[in-house]
Amino acid sequence: MTLFSKLLNHIVFAVLTLFTSNMVNAAEMAPSKTEQRYVVLSPHAVEMLFDIGAGDTIIGTVEYADYPEAANKIRRIGRYDYVNYEALLSLNPDAIIVNSQSTSSGILERLSDLGFPVIDTSVEKLTDIPKRLNELGELTGNQYKANQQAQEFSHLLAEIRNEFQHQTPVNVFYQVWPNPLTTTSSQWMNEIFAGCGGVNVFYGSHSDYPQVSIEQVVTTMPDIILKPIYHGNSNQEVVSWETWKELPAVINQQVKSLEGDLIHRTGPRVLQGMINVCRNIDNARQYQASAHD
């Protein structure tokens, strides 16, 4: 069975204190015997709950929580930087599920003041995702399905790495934002690139999302330029890389667009995004190899 087939099978199967003293791990809350009701303030956590068969426990969420399709029917009560507290209080959830890395400290503090248990599902590395799935499984009483999904994720991640990470290195420039030109040196993206046998040309920058100049990019001579397209980012075509004809990425027509939500959301679908990254990097690798023949 090919890697793509295994991913497809996984997708089909999937469809069937830091800021406050109230913040807990999902595994620390026992499942209720009555109907559970959660407000989920992170799109990736919404995807996780649906992945383990607990999507029906979500009674409120935020903008951009748009996957799977059923998530679009959930009531919206805010964004990553704003919460309608009146709506939240009217829903009176059993707990609030957040990503502490993307939810503002002010919101986290306010949720604590209101007395709601706050469950953190933040993810720093790929291997955290199976852990979060299992924790949410314990929270919702869906341990069996969660364990299945977690094992499937871990197995597929290992297969992706085994296939790509030891291949000939390829220099990658990742254009997060065109104006100002912004890239990434985050642990999350570096782990994805490394798993694909890619080398982030701005690895080791002082910030996770450094602003760079076109001239700085040109000096790195990337073999491939990847441009994620996702909610909220501006026109990625503002930067015309074709002007810089000396770049290997331009010479070999390796300036590529990707679906950003698959890569940037720290949920189960990230492996679909990772495979897209790996395939693009591998294609650039083939051009790189032919140039040296």
String of DSSP letters for 212-243: --HHHHHHH--SEEEEEE-TT---GGGS-GGG
Neighbours of 149 (CB within 10 A): 25
Residue with tokens 């790189």: 288
Query: Distance between CA atoms of 24 and 252, rounded to whole angstroms?
Result: 49
Largest CA distance in the chain: 67
pLDDT tens digit string along 41-55? Answer: 999 999 999 999 999
Q: Which of 272, 281, 278 is nearest to 254 (CA)?
A: 281
Residue with tokens 């390829």: 170
The pLDDT profile of the chain, 293 residues, written as one tens digit per residue, is 565 555 545 544 443 333 334 566 665 655 554 679 999 999 999 999 999 999 999 999 999 999 999 999 999 999 878 999 999 999 999 999 999 988 989 999 999 999 999 999 999 999 999 999 999 999 999 999 999 999 999 999 999 999 999 999 999 999 999 999 999 999 999 999 999 999 999 999 999 999 999 999 999 999 999 999 986 556 888 899 999 999 999 999 999 999 999 999 999 999 999 999 999 999 999 988 776 65
Q: Which of 140, 132, 118, 155 is nearest to 41 (CA)?
A: 118
Instruction: Write down the pLDDT at residue 13.
Output: 42
Q: Are 69 and 47 in contact (CB under 8 A)?
A: no
Q: Is 147 exposed, middle or buried (0-12, 13-18, 19+ CB in 10 A)?
A: middle
Residue 255, strand partner residues? 225
Question: Domains in the chain, ordered, with CATH?
Answer: 3-154 (3.40.50.1980), 167-291 (3.40.50.1980)
Instruction: Write down the pLDDT at residue 23.
Output: 60
pLDDT tens digit string along 108-131? Answer: 999 999 999 999 999 999 999 999
Instruction: Write down the pLDDT at residue 290.
Output: 75
Per 3-state DSSP, the chain is made up of helix, strand and coil in percentages (nearest 5) of 45, 15, 40
Residue 154, strand partner residues? none
Instruction: Write down the pLDDT at residue 136.
Output: 98
Q: Which of 255, 267, 191 is nearest to 228 (CA)?
A: 255
Q: Are 133 and 153 in contact (CB under 8 A)?
A: yes
CB-facing half-sphere around the CA of 183: CA atoms within 13 A: 22
pTM of the entire predicted model: 0.85
